[in-house]
Amino acid sequence: MASQSMRDYIRNFTMDNGPRGNQGYSQVLLQLFGYTGHGKSSFINTCKYVVDDGPYVAHAKVAGSAEKPETMVRNAYDLTENITLVDNRGCVKMNKNEIGEIYAQLGNFLPLGKEVNWQTAFRDMMELLLQSERLDLSSDFVVPVLIYSADCLIVDVNEMKEILLAARNITGIFPTVVLTHELSSHLSEVQESFRRMGVKNMFALENYTAKDNIKTRGKHETILNCLQGILKDVEFRMLEERDAIGERINRKRFLLEFAHRRDMERRQETKNGVCRLL
């Protein structure tokens, strides 16, 4: 499809067009997640640049380098009237503390515009879910999008697979994977790893940046193609009967069970530690 018609498709996308209507959803929320420095904020700026078709603007603040974490606050950016991009806090390593928070972000239980702190205890997760009653977010159709730099070989395949599956369990949708730094020599190896993990929707691209934003047809088309692919998936999902409130309840259940399990494991570890000392 030519760029202009892809752009029109994205700009005119609404949840109302399916044969079953919007089924209680008002917008698509693209939840960007992943390791810090892999290009989430840059991807947001790139998407806005391509879809708005205006000058390059750094809407989301980009890190000076990939090493220093930049985005600590969960911010949302409107791409169109019906599509929002969420810049979630990235993590340095997806360990047990951080992963719970990634799940809470993906499940859409954390307020926007506030700093994200990694919680550890079951009570914290429970409190977070109780407080989320103040937010009315059940009308967001959440799509998880993992942003991963092709410059980084995947060290722990099992950990990554677990995260992708958990993201699918929380949102009901297997994450789309966006590989940034597509010029990296590791690209095909990283692509192959994700393919073996069952990833079907994968897009490799170079983000536009403040320094390098000369419009190129190839870059523009890849971004439009990626966004269009995600929305086609949403349309496909909307052919089924859905229950926005029920899905939210399931997401809460998943998170509470996860936090409970994590708490039990930690207690067991402490107990084992004490036994060893005695």
Ligand X SMILES: Nc1nc2c(ncn2[C@@H]2O[C@H](COP(=O)(O)OP(=O)(O)OP(=O)(O)O)[C@@H](O)[C@H]2O)c(=O)[nH]1
- Please report whether residue 70 would count as binding Mg ion according to CB under 5 A: yes
- Please report whether residue 31 would count as binding Mg ion according to CB under 5 A: no
Task: Pick from 22, 27, 31, 41 the residue near Mg ion by CB under 5 A.
Answer: 41
Q: What residue has token string 């719970």? A: 100
Task: Pick from 37, 100, 107, 175 the residue near ligand X by CB under 6 A.
Answer: 37
And the tokens for 164?
Answer: 């992708």
Nearer to Mg ion, 18 or 90 (CB): 90
Nearer to ligand X, 115 or 133 (CB): 115
CA separation for the pair 72, 29 (Å, rounded): 19
Q: What residue has token string 């990296």? A: 184
Nearer to ligand X, 65 or 158 (CB): 65
- Please report whether residue 71 would count as binding ligand X according to CB under 6 A: yes
Closest approach, Cβ 41 to Mg ion, in A, equals 3
For residues 234 and 28, is the Cβ–Cβ distance under 8 A?
yes
- Please report whether residue 206 would count as binding ligand X according to CB under 6 A: yes
CA distance readout (Å), 27 to 14, 16, 192, 240: 7, 9, 33, 17
DSSP state of 202: E
Closest approach, Cβ 181 to ligand X, in A, equals 4
Task: Pick from 46, 71, 88, 184 the residue near Mg ion by CB under 5 A.
Answer: 71
* Total residues interacting with ligand X, rule: CB under 6 A: 20
Nearer to ligand X, 146 or 230 (CB): 146
Q: Which part of the chain contacts ligand X (CB under 6 A), choosing from 59-67, 98-106, 165-173, 215-223?
A: 59-67
Closest approach, Cβ 72 to ligand X, in A, equals 8
Closest approach, Cβ 265 to ligand X, in A, equals 27
Nearer to Mg ion, 18 or 39 (CB): 39
- Please report whether residue 108 would count as binding ligand X according to CB under 6 A: no
Summarize as ranges the residues that interact with ligand X (CB under 6 A). Answer: 36-42, 62-63, 65-66, 69-71, 90, 180-181, 206-207, 209
- Give contact residues for Mg ion (rule: CB under 5 A): 40-41, 70-71
